[in-house]
Amino acid sequence: MEDGIPFQIVSELLEGSVSEVIDAAHSSHCYLSHYEQLSLVVQMTSAIAYLHGLQPRPYVHADIRPTNVLVTRDMKVKVADLGAAHLVESSKSAGPLSRQYLAPERMPPTSARSSLPSDVYSLGVSLIEIFTGVGPIPEERNGQLTQMIYRRRLHRICSRMISDEDKIADRPTSAECLAVLIREQEEVVGNGFLAIKRMVKGQFEGEGKARRHKVVLSDTYI
């Protein structure tokens, strides 16, 4: 308790974030396998789809980015930082705290309220970062998508997720994204790929071009 406010410390979630996993893999030149990437994004998207599917009113997370997705020692994913989240149709207007993941309709001068489609946009930027290992730099986003061209199913869904402001209706729902990712994961598993489980610890500062990391990748094992 602090000033009458209760806090809960969940020790198994203090190993790091998805951003740290990406940085640790790159710093050790031991890059995430396609299966590992899919494992992360399926769990992450599943959590967002759950929030978006709540009844009678969905929740908008409003701050989706890899630094807000925590990872346990055995690569289980938990979406965190729901401080900006609010009920759809609520009068509260909250937006992502990082402009690099911000949907175009949330940028000034428009500054529309955060919504389910704006959540999907932020999720799409995060997925592209995980699949390519490149930080969320808007000027490089087309190049990142080009890197994914041979993963046709993922390329298509991510391209739709980050549709421009005038094509918001083209963005899929988080549930539709999840279905595509699960289908891709099932195909990878069906082809017999194995995951390398990683145990990550360290600290992370910054995003995009300002990213600096001091992360160590501890023992990896099959």
Asked whether the beta carbons of 115 and 87 are under 8 A apart, the reply is no
Which domains does the chain carry?
16-217 (1.10.510.10)
Query: Is the torsion defined by CA of 79, 8, 94, 85 positive or negative?
Result: positive
- Is residue 63 part of the annotated active site? The answer reads yes
Q: Using CA atoms, how far apart are residues 119 and 64, in angstroms rounded to an integer?
A: 7
Predicted TM-score (pTM) of the model is 0.78
| Alpha carbon 103 to its chain's center | 14
Q: Using CA atoms, how far apart are residues 61 and 46, in angstroms rounded to an integer?
A: 13
- Kindly name the residue from 3, 23, 63, 219 that is annotated as catalytic: 63
- Per run of 10 residues, the mean pLDDT along the chain (length 222 residues) is 74 73 75 86 95 91 90 83 67 58 80 87 94 79 82 93 90 97 87 50 41 36 28
**Helix, strand or coil, per DSSP, at residue 98:** coil
pLDDT, residue 38, reads 92
Asked whether the beta carbons of 98 and 81 are under 8 A apart, the reply is no
DSSP 140-206: GHHHHHHHTTTSHHHHHHHHHHT--GGGGGGSPPHHHHHHHHHHHHHHHHHTT----B--EEEEEE-
pLDDT, residue 184, reads 92
Q: Which residues of 187-205 are buried (b: 16+ CB within 10 A; e: fewer)?
A: ebeeeeeebeebbbebebe
Q: How many residues does the chain have?
A: 222
pLDDT, residue 140, reads 75
For residue 72, how many C-alpha atoms fall within 13 Å in the half-sphere facing its CB? 11
